Amino acid sequence: MKYSYLGKSGLKVSQLCLGTMNFGPETEEKEAFRIMDAALDAGINFFDTANVYGGNDRRGWTEEIIGRWFQQGGGRREKVVLATKVYGDMFDEQDGPNSGAGLSAYKIRRHFEGSLKRLQTDHIELYQMHHIDRNVSWDELWGAFEILVSQGKADYIGSSNFAGWHIAAAQAKAKERHFLGLVSEQHLYNLLERTPELEVLPASQELGLGVIPWSPLAGGLLGRNALSKSGVRSARSAKLEQHRSQLEQFSALCKELGEHEDQVALAWVLANPAVTAPIIGPRTIEQFEDSLRVTEIVLDADTLKKLDEIFPGPGRPAPEAYAW
């Protein structure tokens, strides 16, 4: 396994991040334990979760599973760079009128402590805002996060689903406060969704954030079985038909390369210098093991050109992509 610094921080993380969203609703606890053990054995030290994972009826379930895995000991907690998120509604009656999605200082404090309890740990390496909250000032946000960092409960702060200008505003205000600010941005990025190349990726590189792409396989559309009848869930069948021509060309190219579609799609994301680690979200140990080959795949310039032709992105960052 290869490792990279997380943005401008001195923290090294594996170039694959283990996503745990399926743990609980899709993957039973015993299998989740097997996957996490296998991840450590493979050198993956970067695990991502969120307080809302587990489904609407059981939010927090995924964090609870990870917490029970940590409690098995064997250095599991010490070996993991743990990332979780805050923003969504946890359906906690005690929140009263402050329930719902958001990032008030009140919510950050309460929900951070809730995550610690479920995860059975006393600190979190990377605490991420799951979405921007346009109703909260950066003074309030950074004030709340500075307390967590100064108390040693959180090491670093990250964002997710931010626009480029949100990242710029966050870093400018953090600099005013003599605070490190954001070290990462978790963002939707894959061959079928290249919009981040306009603003988010350039802003992240310029301002010292490592990009952590989520859904690098576009919800399975870039997987090896996407073109089969059972390869993509019915909810995504419309997107499959919309992109069928591209996906057929992609599949043919992968066959020429002698690699599976999902592995090439992940390798393409990893090839971008703005990217620190794409998130893989295996439901089974077999899916996890298949992902490990990705860090060994190097796509040459000719292959990258062909992928650009099949999945054209904006071409350049903004404003050069659409102006002089």
CB 294 within 8 A of CB 1: no
Q: State the Cα–Cα distance between residues 154 and 109, nearest whole angstrom.
A: 12
Q: State the Cα–Cα distance between residues 274 and 266, nearest whole angstrom.
A: 14
CB 266 within 8 A of CB 288: no
Q: State the Cα–Cα distance between residues 269 and 126, nearest whole angstrom.
A: 22
In degrees, rounded to 5, the angle at the alpha carbon of residue 128 between the alpha carbons of residues 122 and 134 is 135
Q: How many CB atoms lie within 10 A of CB 71?
A: 12
φ, ψ for residue 211, nearest 5 deg: -90, 130
Residue 10 identity? G
Active-site annotation, residues = 53
Query: Which of 67, 65, 72 minimizes the C-alpha distance to 30?
Result: 65
Q: How many CB atoms lie within 10 A of CB 274?
A: 20
The DSSP-derived string for 199-230 is: THHHHHHHHT-EEEEE-TTGGGTTSTTTTSTT
Query: Which of 207, 226, 206, 208 minimizes the C-alpha distance to 217?
Result: 226
Q: State the Cα–Cα distance between residues 272 and 261, nearest whole angstrom.
A: 18
CB 188 within 8 A of CB 308: no
CB 159 within 8 A of CB 185: yes
Q: At what angle do helices 138-150 and 164-176 cross, to 10 degrees?
A: 60
